[in-house]
Every structure is written in C-alpha cells, then in structure tokens.
Amino acid sequence: MTKKPSPRSRVLGYVRGTAIVVNNTAAATTFFVQNVIHYDSGRRRGTLSQQGEAVFGPTPWEFAIVGGSGLFRTAHGFNVGRFVSSTRTPTGTLITTYYEASLSYLTTTS
C-alpha cells in the first residue's frame, strides 16, 4: 500500500488476506475475500479488516470494512476495488488490485 498510486510512492502498509472460490462458472469466478490492511504512516498506525465477494475482472467491486485496530478501532465503511493484474507463482496466483476506501472512525486521546 502506497501513499500515491505510483509504485515509487512512499509505502504506508500492506494487505494480506485470503480469497476462496464460492462460485465457479464459465462466465466468471466469484471469490469470498477477507483481508487485513496494515497501515503505518509513522504517526498513525492500525489495521482495517475487510470482507466481501469479488470477481477479479474489469468491473469494480465493493468490500465492507468491518472493523479495525489501533487508530481504526471503531472503523466501518467500504472499499471499492479494481483489478490491476495477475501473476502465476509456484504456489498460486498473485492478484494485484487498487482500492479506494471510504470509512469512518473515532479518534481518542489519552
């Protein structure tokens, strides 16, 4: 995850998750996806949890932001994802996506 869309932009975190096939037809494969987004800007840190269904193709999809930790402890909202590319690896397929998040969270001070 980078600050700007460019891969040369400053890294702010990363996304780790799982995609499970829930419907495999001739037209498309639908996945149930559950991801944890790790965010660290230096001053702000936390994770976001997202889940939903996606077909990794030209049509954007939406995931629900279902919670978080650290700065995002009370987070809720959604991400809109777009497919960028896929690369076969010895252990499966690496899918690269682009997300734009809309979320709400409360900040607390101690």
pLDDT in tens, 26-43: 677 888 888 888 888 888
Domain ranges of the chain: 13-104
Place of tokens 């734009």: 100
Could you tell me the pTM of the whole model? Answer: 0.70
**76-89/92-104 β-pairing:** antiparallel
Q: Please give the CATH superfamily to which domain 13-104 belongs.
A: Allene oxide cyclase-like (2.40.480.10)
Neighbour-count burial of 35, counting CB atoms closer than 10 A to its CB (0-12 exposed, 13-18 middle, 19+ buried): buried
Read off the pLDDT of residues 83-92 as tens digits, 9 standing for 90 and up: 888 888 888 7
